[in-house]
Amino acid sequence: MTPLPPKLYTDDVSLLMVLLDTNPFFWSTPNADFLSFSKFISHVLAFLNSTVLLNQLNQVVVIATGFNTCGYVYDSSTAAPNQRAESLLPKLEEFVAKDEQLSKEGAAAGIGSSLLSGSLSMALCYIQRVFRSGPLHPQPRILCLHGSPDGPGQYVAIMNAIFSAQRSMVPIDSCVVGAQHSAFLQQASYITGGVYLKPQQLDGLFQYLSTVFATDLHSRRFLQLPKPVGVDFRASCFCHKNTIDMGYICSVCLSIFCKHHKKCSTCGSVFGQAQANAPSVSNLKRKFPER
C-alpha cells in the first residue's frame, strides 16, 4: 500500500499500537468472567477495522505479547489496499504456535506473566521511527489489551518503558481482561496520561473498545473518559522481584530492596559507610568540649 502524503495528516489522525496478550497459560485457565481467546480476537478484529474506517489515514500496528517472546503480526501501512485486519490471523496463529512450543516447560506455579516489557519496547521503537520520518506524522498511542498477571521480574524494564513513553508524550491506554487489576498498567496509564479500564462485562468488549479507546487524542479533550478509582503504586524489590509495601532504597541509584543489604547489587554502593566514617557524638564532645 502506497503511504499517503504526510501533508494530509491532521491532529485527529492516529497511530494505534495494539499490544495483544496471547499468553497460552492465561487463556487456558478459565475464570468467573471467562472470555475465550477466539471471542476475544473477534472483538479485537472488529475494533481494529472500525479504527481504520474512522479515518483513512489512521494506522494500526498489532504486536503479539506471548509468554516467551513478542512479535509484529499486523501493520496496516504495509497491508494490501482494502485488506481488513483479519489478515493478521495467519501470522497470529504462527506466533501462538511458536510461543507455545517455547513454553512447554510452562509456569511452575499458577499463570505465567506475559512479556509486557518486550512488547512495550517494540512499540516505542516503532514510534521513534515514525517520529524520525518527518515533522508530520500520525499521533501515536499505545493500547495494552492485557489479561495475564504482572511479572515482578519485569518491573525495572516496564518502568523504563513507561518513563520513555512519558518523555515522548505517548499515552499508554490499558484494557485489562483478566480477573485482577494490573498495577503495572495502572501506573503506565496514570504516568503517561492514558486511560485505564477493566471492563465489567467481557461479552461487550467491543463496545468498551469502540466507545473508550477508539477516540483520537484530539477528541479526548472534549470527552469525559473513565478514570480509575485508584492506582497501585507499589514497587517490586530488586533482590527477590516481589511486590512490597515498604522497603529499603539505595540513595545513589534508587534501587529498591525488601531487606537490608550491606551493598547495593545495582551500583555497588556500600550501605552505612557514611555513618560508619562519621565522627560520633562522644568524639565531637571530646574535641569540642562544652564551656
Set of cell numbers at residue 139: 499521533
- Name which of 162, 189, 148, 200 is nearest 21 in CA terms: 148
Give pLDDT, residue 249: 79
Give pLDDT, residue 288: 44
Residue 135's DSSP bridge partners are none
User: Residue 89's pLDDT band (boundaries 50, 70, 90)?
Assistant: very high
Average pLDDT, stretch 146-164? 90
Give pLDDT, residue 104: 65
How many whole angstroms separate alpha carbon 202 and alpha carbon 222?
27
Average pLDDT, stretch 240-268? 78
Helix H or strand E segment including 60: strand 59-65
Set of cell numbers at residue 7: 501533508
**264 Rama class: left (phi>0) / alpha (psi -120 to 50) / beta:** beta
Q: Which range, of 43-52, 136-145, 154-163, 273-282, averages the lowest pLDDT?
A: 273-282
- What is the percent of the chain with per-residue pLDDT over 90, rounded to a whole number? 44
Give pLDDT, residue 259: 82
Give pLDDT, residue 9: 56
Q: What angle do CA 167, 221, 4 make, to 5 degrees?
A: 70
Which amino acid does the sequence have at 216?
Answer: D
Which amino acid does the sequence have at 38?
Answer: S
Comparison of pLDDT for 71 and 262, the residue scoring more: 71
Q: With beta carbons less than 8 A apart as the criterion, state whether 66 and 23 touch.
A: yes
- Which residues are CB-contacts of 229 (< 8 A; sequence separation ≥ 6)? none
Mean pLDDT of the chain: 83
Comparison of pLDDT for 249 and 193, the residue scoring more: 193
Give pLDDT, residue 220: 87
Average pLDDT, stretch 208-235? 84
Set of cell numbers at residue 31: 475464570
Q: Which range, of 43-47, 206-210, 271-275, 285-289, averages the lowest pLDDT?
A: 285-289
Query: Look-up: residue for cell 492516529?
Result: 14
| Whole-number Cα distances in Å, 46 to 42, 53, 173, 205, 209 | 6, 11, 18, 10, 10
User: Residue 285's pLDDT band (boundaries 50, 70, 90)?
Assistant: very low
How many whole angstroms separate alpha carbon 14 and alpha carbon 59?
6
Encode 211-259 in three state secondary structure: HHHCCCCCHHHHCCCCCCCCCCCCEECCCCCCEECCCEECCCCCCEECC
Comparison of pLDDT for 129 and 283, the residue scoring more: 129
CA dihedral sign of residues 280, 283, 288, 291 = positive
Q: Which domains does the chain have, with CATH numbers?
A: 9-233 (3.40.50.410), 236-287 (no CATH)
Which amino acid does the sequence have at 101?
Answer: Q
Statement: the pTM of the whole predicted model exceeds 0.85 = no
User: Residue 78's pLDDT band (boundaries 50, 70, 90)?
Assistant: confident
Comparison of pLDDT for 186 and 33, the residue scoring more: 186
3-state DSSP assignment of residue 51: helix
Give pLDDT, residue 236: 74
Kindly report, residue by residue over 3-62, the tens digit of the pLDDT: 444 444 567 789 999 999 999 888 987 654 678 999 999 999 999 999 998 888 899 999
Task: Tell me the helix, strand and coil percentages in the chain, rounded to 5.
Answer: 40, 15, 45
Give pLDDT, residue 1: 43
Total number of residues shown for the chain: 291
Average pLDDT, stretch 216-228? 84
For residue 108, pLDDT beyond 50:
no
For residue 119, pLDDT beyond 70:
yes
Give pLDDT, residue 30: 66
For residue 235, pLDDT beyond 80:
no
Q: With beta carbons less than 8 A apart as the criterion, state whether 103 and 114 touch.
A: no
How many whole angstroms separate alpha carbon 79 and alpha carbon 39?
24
Rg of the chain on CA atoms, in Å: 23
- Name which of 98, 34, 33 is nearest 64 in CA terms: 98
Max Cα separation, the chain?
A: 92
